[in-house]
Amino acid sequence: MVAFTGLPLEVCACERGPRVTRSRVLEAGSRKWFYGSEDTGQPYLATEELNMTAILDYAVSLPCRVFNLRDRTVSWIRSRDLTVLAVDRLTVTTDSRISVSHVEESEDWILEIRGVTKRDQGTYECQVNTHPKVSTKIHLKVLPQQDHTSILDIPISDTGVVSDHKDDSGVGHELRVRVIGQRRLLVAEGAQLQLVCEATGRQLAQRRHEAPLVTWTLDGFPVTSQWPQDKVLVRESWAGVSLESELQVTGVAYGDGGVYSCNIPGASPDRVTVTIVPTHTVGVTSKLADSDFEEEEKEVEDDTGPAASASRAAVLSGAIILALLLIQAALCVFYIKKV
């Protein structure tokens, strides 16, 4: 049985089953989102507390995951004025921007707020009418609009639930996956490996309940099953029709090299090859390596380098020596004829 406290949940990364004693989490900062536990027969929630971030004038989805709900009721309450916003799927507030999203037979009861204003900032509570009551408190922070170079620059949510804030014009329905950066990476032994995978596509808007959606593999095997929790961290951030997944591996060893893949069901994976090198070989923590094609192209095109200069000098010296030999031979022939 899992006991919930006010502290962030600490659980291991494992698969979910009928009687799960271990659980899968998605981490953002220091908080954990809980994905299942042993069936106690009583309603319980994924966590007691979450931090969320919304962008002014955009939409935000506040998650509430309830297990073993059965005949109980889920209510959303705004803590600032104790206003009841919704009961189950029925919206009771007069604010037309607010609605509840719930897929039949799922554990998620999501409060959606469209056109977020600064006044929406504050604490919201998702309650289940047990005795004593159980609830999840969500602390919502509203940020001004700005251009974000990366979704990971802001804590969209502790859970990966969609919070729209990016322009989705020009984004197709098909899922596209790419690992940001070069195809080959050199990392010094003992340093930290950091990879970021970006996925785009309108399909993401319908797959919010699958978070975490991205699976990282090393040579075909999930990275979370190869190392202890204190060595590997996967952080996933959603933004409507795009998401980013960040992989961090600390204290890399020679055996941690190989082909890292970013995988999403229904999309072609993208890969990057990582080579672990001795610390003295690399002057910085991590260094991008050019592809073989780029190296060969550079050798052909670079006519100003030391190697090219040396080659030209050798050719010139050979030509001068040959000319001197020809002159000497001609003088000898002339002298013989004269004698």
Q: pLDDT at residue 62 above 90?
A: no
DSSP state of 214: -
SS3 300: helix
Residue 312 pLDDT: 64
Q: How far apart are CA 64 and CA 74, in angstroms?
A: 9
Q: pLDDT at residue 14 above 80?
A: no
SS3 256: helix
Here the tokens at position 334 are 């002339």
Q: pLDDT at residue 215 above 70?
A: yes
Kind plus residue range of the DSSP H or E element containing 70? none
More confident call, 272 vs 205:
272
Task: State the average pLDDT over residues 207-227.
Answer: 79
Q: Tokens 């001068």 identify what position?
A: 320
Task: State the average pLDDT over residues 7-22.
Answer: 30
Q: How far apart are CA 20 and CA 67, in angstroms?
A: 13
pLDDT above 90 covers a percentage of the chain that reads 17
Residue 306 pLDDT: 52
DSSP state of 157: B
Q: What is the pLDDT of residues 155-211, one digit of tens each?
A: 444 444 434 444 444 556 678 888 888 888 889 999 999 898 888 887 776 676 666
Write down all domains in the chain, each with its CATH number in brackets. Answer: 25-153 (2.60.40.10), 176-299 (2.60.40.10)
Q: Residues 6 or more apart from 174 whose CB is under 8 A from it?
A: 201, 203, 267
Query: With helix as H, strand as E and coil as C, how does 220-249 read?
Result: CEEHHHCCCCCCEEEEEEEECCEEEEEEEE
Q: pLDDT at residue 80 above 70?
A: yes
Q: pLDDT at residue 261 above 60?
A: yes
Here the tokens at position 47 are 């966590």
